[in-house]
A = this chain, B = another copy of it.
Amino acid sequence: MEFAFTDEQAMIAETARAFFTENATSERTRKAMAADGIDHALWTAFCQELGLSGIGIPENAGGAGLGLVELAIIAEAAGAQVAALPMLGSLAMAAQAIAAGGSAEQQAEWLPRLLSGEVIAGYVHDAALTADGNALTGADQFVAHGAAAQVFVVTSNTGAWIIPADAAGVTVTACTTMDQTRPYARVALSGAAAAPLADAASAIAAAHRAGFVTVAAEALGGAQAALDRTVGYAKERVQFGRVIGSFQAYKHRLADMMIEIEQARSAVYWAACAVDEGSDEAELAVHSAKSFAADTYFMCAGNMIQLHGGIGFTWEHDAHLYFKRARALQSMLGSGNWHRERIASMILGDAA
């Protein structure tokens, strides 16, 4: 029992933080926002130079081993910069699904290309998907970075498949999306022939757990950055002849952010650890982390705007990047209420 980073984990955190802080700049992110929402050069550098893209993927599947704790560390660092990267869909969900549920051939075919960044995958989920053999019909309106993906992992509640984006019967429509760092696409399948993953249940479980934890970790990073940047502003901005951070109401708002963030930090690493250790608490933990961290982020990003005053409401300032990402993290992969209702069902049984 030791709820602190190991030396190796601390090193990964430091490496990731330095990498994203230096490279995922506002300027580069805004360029990506005006295009397909991906800083492709950054993604290539992350995958090929930093060598962290294989984290969370078993070594025998071509990954770097390690687990969700390390994946969370990276997602936290990327989230702190609102980096415009396909990490969630391509690595945390699609690659995790293939690593957990794909055959050896499927893993060999796709994982090296996903981990190298050569290919970007999207994650498509449709509970109402119909499969006629492996000919899939259904749609997901909100596939993160879907228009930039060359391949999709597609899941229903019981099945999982892989299908290239240019396969017959696949229609991808890019959407103007509030969070331009992670634009959605509508992916429609109309009798599209897909390759089934060998172990669908494992693939779905792995993708969802990793997805929840990654979203939560991103939210944690974003919330902390929103606080840090606001703290910086509070020390510089003068109003009424005082730095605004000297106003107690302002201080208390910052304190409230920190109180939530510290809990979100516990939530994210509890969840990552619980999944990695196969703990009985894993389900409780991932639902807790996703709902709590996303709400924390939204609260902090909203405060970031409020506590910057007028400037925080301009396009030019980065506050809106955090705010929009925070909103997106709240609503994607199940709302906070949905996750809490899952927890209530565990405790209280299903609702009447």
Contact = CB atoms under 8 A, between A and B. Distances in A.
A5 interface: no
A1 interface: no
Contacts of A252: 249
Contacts of A251: 249
Question: How large, as a class, is the contact surface on chain A?
Answer: under 10
A140 to B, nearest CB: 26
A247 interface: yes
A176 interface: no
A252 B247 CA distance: 11
Interface string A246-258: 0111011000000
Nearest to A251: B249
A252 B248 CA distance: 10
Nearest to A247: B248
Determine which residue in A247, A249, A251, A252 has the highest number of CB atoms from chain B within 10 A of its CB, and name it.
A249
Contacts of A249: 248-249, 251-252
Interface of A: 247-249, 251-252
6 contacts: A247-B248, A248-B248, A248-B249, A249-B249, A249-B251, A249-B252
